[in-house]
Each structure stands twice: as structure tokens, then as C-alpha cells.
Structure 1
Amino acid sequence: MIETRLTGETPDLAQDNIEKLKELFPDIVTDGKIDFDKLKQDLGDYVDDSAERYNFSWNGKGQALRLAQTPSTGTLRPCKEESKDWDTTENLYIEGDNLEVLKLLQKSYHNMVKMIYIDPPYNTGKDFVYPDNFKDSIENYKSITGQTDSEGKNISNNSETSGRYHTDWLNMMYPRLRLARNLLTDDGVIFISIDENEVDNLKKLCNEVLGEDNFIGQITALCNPKGRSQDKYIANCHDYLVIYSKISLAKGDLSIGKNDDEIDSDYNLEDENGLFRELELRNTHREFGKHNRPNLYYPFYVSEMGDISFSKNEKYKNIVFPNWEDGFEGCWTWGLEKANSEKNLLVAKHVRGRWKIYRKAYANIDGEGPLKQMKSIWTDKKYHTEKGQSIFNDLFNTKDKIFQAPKSIDLIIDCIKMSQLKSGIVLDFFSGSATAAHAVMQLNAVDEGNRKFIMVQLPEPTDKNSEAAKAGYDNICEIGKERIRRAGEKIKEEKGLLAQNLDIGFKVLKLDTSNIRKWHPKGNDLEASLLDAINNYVVGRTELDIVYEIMLKFGLDLTYSVEEFIIEAKKVYSIGFGVLMICLDNDITTSIAKGILEKVQALAPETTRVVFKDNGFKTDSNKTNIKEILKCGGIDEFITL
């Protein structure tokens, strides 16, 4: 049985990277430290040690990297009263600085998020951008959101006159993208909305963080057909979607299903097997032909009635090669063996005086509908910002712009479809009005999917003269949460029985400093410091706060069920049906441990950790005996805090 002392910090990502290097190159470790000269030797020709080489750099990059690797001392405190369907939902709404939140999610959601969509500040000079505090990110967060008194908030516009126009934006995005990458599944995809101000820098940034080979594409989305009248020279009508995968994906991995209208238009023929269309078997790309695909160059033999054979005789005397009208020797798209096995799908037609070979392509194969690649330009009205604003305003029964220019839910729905996500997590850590959450619920209601969302948003205060403030919304998070509530209820009402099992709830969690008290002795009053330290927790925190911090630190899904039960007047929490058992009471005796063990055996989880307060045991001998009881009972880890 492992014995662990829990602290209030997240994993040290820099140390984790060092350990990974040591596993790959054990000879580079000298006196417990990395010998970088030896590492260079091990890498051989892959090391570029020349002074001049292509490099994307800016002032503060190194500090931004260290910020991503610095452990967080924060936690996420549950807020039941602002949540919806707390006991059953698998969705999360997290209030806080997304940098710290991403750090806190590293263990619980590492390699767990299938799709990320973000709409970060575009750096137009009017965006909400604030400088990260490299010394105390949590206190900085609380200061700028008005949770603590400050001489002056760091909330500011990032104007071009600041002298650090692009630098500040890059320093904000770099650590967040690095942390976000860790959360993506191996086949995960990230979609980032951006405009021309930072699209070039964003791609360079993503090339470094996600890999240039993993660039999927850049989509131009028409969002404002009227154009922005305030632009200096050209009225901009579009935004971009920059798309990267975590690893290289296969061709067609981001294709989506065709809709009914597209199927009816494209598949205009029908036989006993269903709707189909005829596609020319000859490869229509002239870069492929007999010269480089000789195995795809062979003849068919066709009768006067259009029957097909692979051998010539009196009936099948019309020879057909994949040649072009000008004599270019092309090639087929199928090899001879496949053509033989799929002969029933081949059709010969006499077109403009010559025979051509076609193949039947059915709309439905093994229950799967036809797919299409999304194009690089999206012009449909459903993507317009005006449509997004209209849907938002309808939800809030207002003509006032409580939230300015929310994204179209259809844009995000199509991004989700491209990610091939039917059951898994969608993350948006610049969630704004929570359009992504709305899109997830809407798509689940349409295709009976089981997607979950994690929304992360800084509770940016609304301007006191804004329509949002007049409507009673003090910060952006209040708008986002209310949108999810309203959108979920509307979807359920519209879909009726089809949406009766739809998850429209969300657990609210709020970023704060750790619940576990730090040792800060006061030199002038050491006795008072010692008395304070007897209580393990920060004043004002609840046991549920501590339970969720423990879940975070041990990497448990934050939507796991949390059940409470009593053993000899002591409250015990069971998380994930016995995966984690927590008792934070005082005067713990061996009988409590035996009761916990009985509960674990009844639940029968694969592994179990048990957590107590370090000063919660009745005596030191009780602690020793409890450890032995749990060890003999098969408990995997004994934790104190």
C-alpha cells in the first residue's frame, strides 16, 4: 500500500518532462541532473547547433513557457446553488483564469478531450487582455476580477500604442495552448477562431506547440457579409478557423455526413440496393497515369450491350483502357483484383462515340451514410454572426445586445461533426456566452449523441453602463450560465420525447486558492501561528470544497458521483463508487477504518484510495493500526492531508 501526503499543488510539469527524458535517454543523467551536452550527442544529426536558424521568438517567450510549467496552488470549489442537475450531469462550467484552470485539469483530463474549440481575443486593440502574474497567478486572478481589493485592476485593452501589441497576445496564448495540448486525445482536434490581426502569429504558435505536420487547414468563414465599416481600408467580412490535430490524421478523418438534401441531389439513381450515383472509374487527375501507376493500367472488354468482361472474345470485343481523349494514358482508380471482386458495381456506357467504365457508389453502405470533405470557404447564412446574435437574443427575450456578437452555434456544430465526436468531451476555455455548450446540447438532441462539455470562462465584470449590467448580469459567467439553462430547456421543449434523456445540466466550479492551509509562521506571534496550523483548512471552506480538491489532485473525473454515508457518527465520502473514500472528521478510530473497508468491499472498485486528515486520528497508535487494517484489506493507497 502506498502512503501519500497531499499538498495543495498540481503536478510539476517540468519535472515530469525530465522524467520522460530520463526514460528515453538514461545516460544523460549526471548527479540527478540533465547533461544537455550528452543529450545533444545522443540526438546526433538531429541537433541544430548553428547560431542562425529559423526560429519563432518574442520577448517573454521563455517566461511564458515557465509559467505553463509552474504548478498551480489553486483549486476548484464546487458551487451547487448555481449548478443545474448537480447529481446527474456530466457537464462542467468552470469560472476562473483559464491558465490556472488548465493546469488544474492536467491530471483529471489528460488525454481525455476529443475536441477543443476556442474563440480567443482577436487582439483588435479593444479586447479584454490582462498580463499574467508570474509570482502569484491565483491572487492576480482574484484581483482583476474584483474578488479582492487592489490599488488598480490589471484589466486593460491591448492597444497598438502599448509597444507590446503582439508580444502580450503571444505571451497570453502560448502557455495556454501548451497546456491544452496535453488534454487532447491522440486523435483530438483543436479549432481556433481568429481574424487577420493574429492569424499569422497563431499559426506559427500552433506549428511550435502542435507541430507543423499536424496543421489540418484554415477555413475562411463569412460572418459579416456587410463588412466592418470601422476597418481602415477594406471592410472585413470574414473570420478564420485554424485547425490542428494532436497527431497526423488519415485522409478523410474530418469528413462529415451529407444531409438529406445533398443525398437527394447527388444520388439520383436507384436500384434494389438503394440510392446510388455513377462515378467514372478512370482517375480524373492527370498527375496519375500509366507512367507512375502501371498496376492500375489494364483493359476491360465490353459487349455491344454494355456487359463487361476481363477477357476478349467474340461477344466482348470492345477494348477499353483508361486513356484520355487526347491520347494520354491514364489509370483506373481500382486495381484489377478489386475490379474483379466488385464487378457487380461496374457499368459500361457509350459516351460521345467511345466506351467508358463507371462504378456504382451507394448512398448507404453497411448503415453508414455518405461523407463529404468540408470546403475551405464557408458562406452559408447559418454561419453569420447575425444568426448567432438572433439565436442568443431569442433565448433572452430581448432586442438588446446583452452579449455582443456571439458565435453561430451552427459553426461550432460543424466543427464538432468534423472532429468525429459522438461521445466524449468538448472543451472551450474562452467560452464567452457558452455557444459551444449550446451547440453540444443541440447536436446531442439531433443525433442522440453523448457528448459532454467543459466551459471555462474568466468572470470578467460587465461595464456598469452596458446592456448586460442593466439586465442584472454582473459578469460574463452569469450570462454564459443563464444561456445554458435557457438553451437546454428550450431544446428539451422542442424535441419532446427525443430529448427526455438529454443532459442539459452543468456543475459550476470556481477557481480559488487551495483549501489546504499553508504554514506561514508569524515571527512576532509564533504561538498563534501554531494554533492556526492545527486546523488543516483555510477558514470558510467546506468539506465538499476539500473533497473536490482531492479529486483534482488525484486525477479523478470531476463529474464522478459523490455519495455521503455515516459510520459511527463520522461522515465518509465515496467518489466514483469507491474509487476514492474520504473521511475528514476528527477522532478517527479503527472501527471507522473497518466500516470504510466493508463499504469498499461492497462497492468492489478496481482500485481504492482512502484519505484522512493527518491530525484527525484519535491517537498515533490508531493511525498506525488503521494503516495496517487498510493494507490487509487490499486498499491501494493511504493518504493524509
Structure 2
Amino acid sequence: MPETTQSTTPNHSLIEGDNLHALTVLNYTHAGTIDVIYIDPPYNTGNKDFKYNDRFIDREDGYRHSKWLSFMEKRLRLAKNLLKDSGVIFISIDDNEQAQLKLLCDEIFGEENFVANVSVINNLKGRSDEKYIATAHESLLIYKKTNFETLGLPAPEDYIEEYKLTDALGKYRLLGLRKRGDNSLREDRPNLFYPIYYNISTNQWSLDKENFRDPIEIIPKLSDGSEGNWRWGKDTLLKRKDEIVIQKVKKRNEYDVFQKDYLHKSNDELKRVKPKSFWTGTEFSSDAGTKSLKEVISDVNFRSPKPIGLIKCCLSQASQKSAKVLDFFAGSGTTLHAVMALNAEDGGSRECILVTNNENNICEEVTYERNKRVIQGYPNAKGEPVAGLSGNNLRYYQTGYVGREKTLANKRALMALATEMLCLKEGVYEEENLQGMGEITGLGVRVFQENSKAFMVVYDEEAIDQAVEIIQSALSSFEKIKVYVFATGSYPYTDDFEEVLDRIELCALPDAIYRAYQRLLPKEDKNTIV
């Protein structure tokens, strides 16, 4: 259900269904393509927040933790397959399962890929119903796939206030060039210990003592007088010589070496800082989550929606502006709301996939309705109009089933129902209107095209000749076209497409889908998900 018709705007997707089934579909359409996953799974509090085999699990259940871990393991293993190597997953959790989840994630993602366990202060006053200590935080577990690097966060006001010096390049502060903390002794990094020579009268420095008469020799020394090392090697020092400042430290009565640390980068972008292991602020509070949801749907009754600020903080440090984002415990739809808000702020084109079931009509009446209003505009709680974030497309999908037995009838049924899944896979949604070719498309060919990308679905092998004709005529301007063709096996009728083979990439369906699912679904499952 597109909410705009602009082909250049981000395409967001909402999938209604069991998230285990949806993750299986996404493993065919999006394996290795997701940049950021954020999830807020059930916390297993025993207060009817977690179902296992269609039954709520209470605190007295002796297998409470085991059932929750089994539930999460299946989903996290599928989720890992979806991440790029540079991808990252954020998981909100509280103390009911945080320890168990940490061990599970160590097993699935690898202990070496643990990034952080962030304490998010979401109730500064603390919860008065706690027996011993008033809990004021939740945890945010972060794991990378393999080579994730944080982009940092925009510098906060108190950090900016440290930049009190100015030159032609802008505001800066002075940072000591001497290494501090671990590996700061001379013997730790001998190549980073070397003298720098300074001429007071000319305010010049050099690595060569012979360049000056009676220069001051400056070496990296720790506060106890022992020899340390610099943060930079000689090559870096010379390359960045314009950043070096040498001045006298009055309380030590000696000269030392400093680096100009600028507030803005060369492209005038504000400096970003490394996130800390605890996040605090009104934007992370539970009240902020409830307020932002009720601002859009005033009469909604939804327990503990996540605040937009939390998701934006995750995305801001973890994703490029064109990132693909997934939330398969979508709940009230905060993640998509946050993605669209962040895009509006920084000009990004991030795309988001949400997955949730429709228990108590949550998907239709909360998740979808909220984000539809955010796109189209809505009256806030005071009745004032709020402009929509109209540069977005939102499409609503539902998972369905086809018998897994590979009969011809099942294969044709799967092929007929797979079109939306293929659109999702290719990221192309607009169907081409092939005027004058109704008799051809009526035989079982559909073409989808957006901008410079196109793909074709051939639903019946008898329509291959007509498909070739369309490729040669209506699609002649495209260099490469993906063609999905119905076949009873893995052979995609390569010989029949011989005339256009240099311009197409063939894929036999539903065989490719069967093979993808075969690696994921248990053998006893009798259905194929579409």
C-alpha cells in the first residue's frame, strides 16, 4: 500500500505475520543486505508478555528461561544471516533475561563480536514497585556481524563548550600528544618514543636537532617522570604538522606538545564522538515513548512503546544515510517512525522493514496506522495539524502458506503468490503498463520497472516467446534484466532465451525459493511461506 507514488523516495515495508516465518522469507529476499537491526523482544516478565506455543508463560513455569531462549535463538540465527558483514544488531532487554540473552548472543554472533551492554536510563525516578532497588534503566545489547565501525554521535553541548580556541579553520581545543592509559610506557611502543626539538625564539619545531641552535628537547614523559610515548608516529606527525602546538605548561615549568582538535571536520560537518556505555536524557524515557505514540494516535492503548530518541540514537551511530533497517518485533512501529524522522533531519534515504503479528489488531490499528499518519500528516493531541513526512512509501504485506510437498499444483500456486516477495527482493514495485501487449501479458508475463532497474516474471513456460519479444522491444533500453521464470525444476529454459541471454539474468522459480527455505525450515514443517 504505497503512501506516495514517488519512485525516488525510500520504500518501507510492513510485514504482518509470525516473525519466524517473515525472517525465513527475508532470508530469501534480503540475505546479507541489512545494515542495522533493532529489536525490542518480550522481556519474559511473567506478566503475560511472552507466549510460547500459543500459551502465556508465567513466573512459576520451571522452564520459563529455556522456552524464551529457544524462542529467541531461532529468530536471532535467522537475523544474523540478514546482516551485512558491517552490520550491527541492537537488542533492548531488562534484567529478567539480560544475562541469558548475553550468553545466547555470544554463542550466535561470537563473543568477539560483542560491542557493548549499554544502560539506558528510561525512568530516572526509578520504579517504586521494586522490592529492593528502584530500577531506573534497561539494557541495550549490541553485537556486530564482523567488521562494524561506529560513526559516533553528534557532539553534545557540554562537549562543544570545551572548544574555546579559534583560528582560521574554526574552533578547536588542545589535546596532549602524549599517549595516556594502556600501552603508554616507552617499552610498550618503542617506535612511538622519540624527541621533538623546539626553538623558542622562532616558535618552530623539528625532528632533527641540527636544524636549530640549542633547541629544547621534548620527550613524552608520564606524570611520575618515567618515559612514555606519543600518540602519533613520526610520519603522522609530519603529515599533520599544521595541527601541532608547542607551549609551556606552567605548573610543570616545561614545554609540551599538543594537537589542535577541531570541532568541525574539513567538510564543515560537526565532530562526532564515541558513544558512552550509559545513555541518559528525556529522549530515552518511557514517558517519551508513550507521548510520541499518543501524539499520533491519541486514543491508543499500547504498553511501553519505545521512544523515538532511543532508535534515532542507535541509527545515528550505526548507519549510513542509505542504510537498510530491520525490526522484527515492531510493536507500535517506533523504528520506522524514527527512520523517517532521521531521514527528514539529515537528508537520508534509509529504508525500514517492520515485522509484527496482528494480535489484538496491533499491526493494522497501531503499527500501520501510526506510520501511515506520520507520512500523510495528522492532527496532534491538541487538534493542531502536523505535516506529514510525505517523501516515503509504505507497503503492507501478509505472510501466507503453500503446501511444501513439491506437486505441480503447489509449485504453480507458490509461483503465483511470489510476486510481492520478488518486488521486495528486487526493490522494484511499479508494474510496467505494456500498452498494446495485453495479449502477451495475459499469457503470464509481468514486468516491474523503476528508474534504471527492471525485472520480469514469467508465470508460464508457454509465455517465454512473448517474454523474449518484450525484452527486445519494450525493455530494449535496459542493459540487464532479472527474469524469474516458472520451471518444474532448476533449469530456467536458458536455450529458449538464447536471443537475449546477454541482457538477462535467469532464475528458475519456485526451485530457488524451495532451496533457500530448505536450508532454514525444519523438515517436519509442511508449509512453504510466501
The yes-or-no answer on 1:602 pairing with 2:476 is: yes
Contact 1:460/1:477 (<8 A) preserved: no
The aligned amino acid for 1:197 is N
- Aligned counterpart, 2:15: 94
- Aligned counterpart, 2:420: 548
- Deviation string, structure 1 residues 14-34 (Cα, Å, up to 9, x no partner): xxxxxxxxxxxxxxxxxxxxx
Residue 164 of structure 1 deviates from its aligned partner by 1.3
- Separation in 1, partners of 2:96, 2:46: 10
- Separation in 2, partners of 1:180, 1:580: 27
The yes-or-no answer on 1:574 pairing with 2:447 is: yes
The yes-or-no answer on 1:592 pairing with 2:466 is: yes
- Aligned counterpart, 2:69: 170
- Aligned counterpart, 1:198: 97
The aligned amino acid for 1:295 is N
- Separation in 1, partners of 2:494, 2:160: 68
- Separation in 2, partners of 1:114, 1:491: 30
- For residue 52 of structure 2, the aligned residue among 102, 109, 131 is 131
1:515/1:93 CA distance change after superposition, 3 Å = farther
- Separation in 2, partners of 1:546, 1:336: 60
- Separation in 2, partners of 1:488, 1:130: 32
The yes-or-no answer on 1:487 pairing with 2:345 is: no
The yes-or-no answer on 1:301 pairing with 2:200 is: no
Contact 2:305/2:332 (<8 A) preserved: yes
- Aligned counterpart, 2:261: 361
1:627/1:321 CA distance change after superposition, 3 Å = closer
Residue 445 of structure 1 deviates from its aligned partner by 0.3
The yes-or-no answer on 1:384 pairing with 2:285 is: yes
SS at match of 2:22: helix
1:369/1:167 CA distance change after superposition, 3 Å = same
- Deviation string, structure 1 residues 512-538 (Cα, Å, up to 9, x no partner): 113999759xxxxxxxxxxxx599549
The aligned amino acid for 2:288 is K
SS at match of 2:60: helix
1:394/1:375 CA distance change after superposition, 3 Å = same
Residue 196 of structure 1 deviates from its aligned partner by 0.5
1:277/1:494 CA distance change after superposition, 3 Å = farther
Residue 173 of structure 1 deviates from its aligned partner by 0.3
For residues 223-234 of structure 1, what are the structure 2 equivalents within 5 Å?
Answer: 223-234=122-133
Residue 319 of structure 1 deviates from its aligned partner by 2.3
1:286/1:475 CA distance change after superposition, 3 Å = closer
Residue 356 of structure 1 deviates from its aligned partner by 1.5
SS at match of 1:217: strand
Contact 1:309/1:316 (<8 A) preserved: no
1:610/1:112 CA distance change after superposition, 3 Å = closer
1:199/1:638 CA distance change after superposition, 3 Å = closer
- Aligned counterpart, 1:394: 295
- Separation in 1, partners of 2:192, 2:342: 42
The yes-or-no answer on 1:121 pairing with 2:121 is: no
Contact 1:255/1:374 (<8 A) preserved: no
SS at match of 1:219: strand
Contact 1:96/1:511 (<8 A) preserved: yes
Q: Percent identity?
A: 30
Residue 393 of structure 1 deviates from its aligned partner by 1.2
1:221/1:395 CA distance change after superposition, 3 Å = same
Q: Which one is further off, 293-302 or 184-193? A: 293-302
Residue 236 of structure 1 deviates from its aligned partner by 1.4
Contact 2:402/2:410 (<8 A) preserved: no
Residue 380 of structure 1 deviates from its aligned partner by 1.3
Contact 1:583/1:611 (<8 A) preserved: yes
- Deviation string, structure 1 residues 367-421 (Cα, Å, up to 9, x no partner): 14322111101111211011111111111235xx521111111111010012132
Which consecutive aligned stretches of 4+ in structure 1 deviate over 6 angstroms post-superposition?
491-496, 515-518
The aligned amino acid for 1:483 is R
- Separation in 1, partners of 2:186, 2:26: 54
- Aligned counterpart, 2:230: 332
Residue 427 of structure 1 deviates from its aligned partner by 0.1
| Higher gyration radius (CA) | 1
Q: TM-score, normalised by structure 2?
A: 0.82
The aligned amino acid for 1:359 is Q
SS at match of 1:556: helix
- Separation in 2, partners of 1:292, 1:203: 33
Residue-pair matches, total: 487
Q: Which one is further off, 168-177 or 270-279? A: 270-279
1:515/1:484 CA distance change after superposition, 3 Å = farther
- Aligned counterpart, 1:466: none
The aligned amino acid for 1:488 is I
- Aligned counterpart, 2:500: 633
- Separation in 2, partners of 1:242, 1:609: 41
- Aligned counterpart, 2:528: none
Q: Which one is further off, 475-484 or 114-123? A: 475-484
- Deviation string, structure 1 residues 432-461 (Cα, Å, up to 9, x no partner): 001000000000000001100000001112
- Aligned counterpart, 1:428: 327
1:491/1:373 CA distance change after superposition, 3 Å = farther
Contact 2:472/2:500 (<8 A) preserved: no
The Cα RMSD (Å) is 3.3
Tell me, which stretches of 5 or more residues in structure 2 are unaligned? 380-384, 511-530
- Aligned counterpart, 2:154: 258
The aligned amino acid for 1:630 is F
The yes-or-no answer on 1:213 pairing with 2:132 is: no
The aligned amino acid for 1:354 is E
Contact 1:223/1:384 (<8 A) preserved: yes
- Deviation string, structure 1 residues 451-500 (Cα, Å, up to 9, x no partner): 00000001112xxxxxxxxxxxx33442011111222344998689xx66
Contact 1:584/1:612 (<8 A) preserved: yes
Residue 262 of structure 1 deviates from its aligned partner by 5.2
Residue 633 of structure 1 deviates from its aligned partner by 3.5
- Separation in 2, partners of 1:637, 1:325: 68
- Separation in 2, partners of 1:213, 1:516: 38
Tell me, which stretches of 5 or more residues in structure 1 are unaligned? 1-79, 133-153, 462-473, 521-532, 615-625
SS at match of 1:563: coil
Residue 269 of structure 1 deviates from its aligned partner by 1.1
- For residue 273 of structure 1, the aligned residue among 169, 192, 207 is 169
- Separation in 2, partners of 1:534, 1:334: 65
Higher strand share: 2
1:610/1:331 CA distance change after superposition, 3 Å = closer
Q: TM-score, normalised by structure 1?
A: 0.69
SS at match of 1:413: helix
The yes-or-no answer on 1:412 pairing with 2:319 is: no
- Aligned counterpart, 2:402: 514
SS at match of 2:345: helix
The aligned amino acid for 1:598 is Q
1:314/1:604 CA distance change after superposition, 3 Å = closer
- Separation in 2, partners of 1:98, 1:221: 26
- Aligned counterpart, 1:469: none
- Aligned counterpart, 2:518: none
1:173/1:337 CA distance change after superposition, 3 Å = same
- Separation in 1, partners of 2:413, 2:419: 12
- Aligned counterpart, 2:523: none
Contact 2:3/2:375 (<8 A) preserved: no
SS at match of 1:444: helix
The aligned amino acid for 1:561 is E
Contact 1:92/1:559 (<8 A) preserved: no
